[in-house]
Each structure stands twice: as structure tokens, then as C-alpha cells.
Amino acid sequence: MADGKPSLVPRGPQRMWAATQWSWRGLIQAFRHESSFRLEVYLFLVLAPIGAAFGSTAVERALLVGSLLLVLVVELLNSAIEAVVDKVSPEYSELAGRAKDIGSAAVFVSMLNVLLCWGLVLGGRI
């Protein structure tokens, strides 16, 4: 409830448009400032069409493309955590380092999920 209104009150078109613009700005900032995010976007642009083509059912296509999208989501969250940690604690802190490492581990696990999904879906066809 960041806007201070009860959660059941509809936002309206203007608020939805503003939220869309803020989200788009966040994507642009991540792409500009996070090299890992850029690389994962490039990989998504290459692998998503392959996943969509090689999935033989809608569920397979959703698993192949969705697992790639999950990596982008987790990378965005990790980047947000790192930015906040750097703002709050610019000097070395064990807890700050732990937060960053755990965020990085989340990205790694999401990448393992890609390998698992792609391996299980496409592995039997090779």
C-alpha cells in the first residue's frame, strides 16, 4: 500500500499508467547499469525463440520461456538489493556482504532452474 490508499480501491488509469512508466524506467536503469542483466536479456532474446520453437506443447513452451523470464526477475531483485545495500552501508559490513551473496545465490539457483527445465523438456529428444 505504497500509495496510502486501501488496497481494495481501484487505482484508475492514470495510476496504472504511472506505475507502468516507473516499471519501464526500472528496466531501462537495470539495462544501463547492470552488465549481468544486459547479458541475461541478450541470452533471453536468443533462447526464448528457440524455447518457443522446440516446445511441443504449450506447457513445454511456458517452462522453457518462463524459466528464462524467472532469471530476469531474480536478477532485477538482486540488483535492487545490491543498490539498497550499497546506499545504506557503503563501507564493508558482514551482513551487507551476506545480503549480496544471498541475492547472487538466488540468481544462480534460477539459472540452475533453466538448466533443469531445458534438460528435462529437451533432453529426451537429443
Residue 3 lies in a domain: no
Q: Does 78 map to a domain?
A: yes
pLDDT tens across 88-109, in order? 988 889 999 999 999 999 999 9
Segment among 15-19, 61-65, 84-88 with least mean pLDDT: 15-19
* CA distances to 40, 50, 112 from 105, in Å: 15, 26, 10
119, part of any domain:
yes
SS3 of 2, please? Answer: coil
Domain extent, residue 115, equals 35-125
The CATH number for 75's domain is 1.10.287.3610
The answer to whether residue 23 is domain-embedded is no
* More confident site: 24 or 18: 24
Judged against a pLDDT cut of 90, whether residue 5 lies above it is answered with no
Distance CA(23)–CA(4), nearest Å, equals: 19
Does residue 115 form part of some domain? Answer: yes
Question: How many folded domains does the chain comprise?
Answer: 1
Q: How confident is the model at residue 85 (pLDDT cuts 50, 70, 90)?
A: very high
- Enumerate the active-site residues: 75
Kindly state whether residue 1 falls inside one of the protein's structural domains: no
